[in-house]
Amino acid sequence: MSVVRKRWAMLAQDLTFEQLATVRKQAEGWRTALAGLTALLSTVLIIKGRDSVTSLATVPRWTATALLGLAFAMLIVATLSSVRAASGNPGTEILLTGEELRTWTQTEVRHVGRLIYRATLFTITALALLALAVGITWLAPSAQTDRPLIEVLNTSGRVCGELVGTADGALILKTAKLRQVPLIAVTSVTPVTACT
């Protein structure tokens, strides 16, 4: 056996003893990344489109709320998985033989790998859910407001619609489109339950 091959064989032998430390280091990286990601997402949600979801229509409001709750739950599971992978499982078991330690190390390496995979999967899914929830808050229609219906009689006829407000000396009504009725021409304003 050549010196180079012998050296590679020795390095491979050493790697078997460093497996657990290597995967723990990877898990620490995931834990740090998840903490930063959670802080970033909190900032993004504060700067998102609407101030709250209460102004959304009922279905989008509850959908966005459920998606946000599910996303944060998934981020918590991902964070706890990465912490468990990085820190290990607290226990009182003391391994006294080399074979027991070897078996435990191999089992722990596989378990840490599964935890990192789960943290990755949950993080990606949570990001997708958060993006969807923020998209809903940006694009979903607002809840219908209960604006009063009024019938306005003026010098040029009758107009019926939702009272939007007043501006520049005119009543603004929402009919099929927005209409302005000059206040100077209004002869009466009557609340109605329906426009006929």
| For residue 132, pLDDT beyond 80 | yes
| 148-193 tens-digit pLDDT | 788 888 888 888 888 888 888 888 888 878 888 888 888 888 888 8
Residue 145 confidence (pLDDT): 57
Residue 94 confidence (pLDDT): 63
Q: What is the DSSP string of the chain?
A: --HHHHHHHHHHHHHHHHHHHHHHHHHHHHHHHHHHHHHHHHHHHHSSSSS-GGGB-HHHHHHHHHHHHHHHHHHHHHHHHHHHHHH---------SHHHHHHHHHHHHHHHHHHHHHHHHHHHHHHHHHHHHHHHHHHSPBPPP-PPEEEEEETTEEEEEEEEEEETTEEEEESSSEEEEEGGGEEEEEEESS--
Q: Where are the domains of the chain?
A: 3-139, 149-192
For the ranges 47-61, 126-140, 147-161, the lowest mean pLDDT is seen at 47-61
Residue 121 confidence (pLDDT): 93
Q: Would the pTM count as exceeding 0.85?
A: no
Q: What is the mean pLDDT of residues 140-146?
A: 68
Task: Domain 149-192: give its CATH code.
Answer: 2.30.30.100
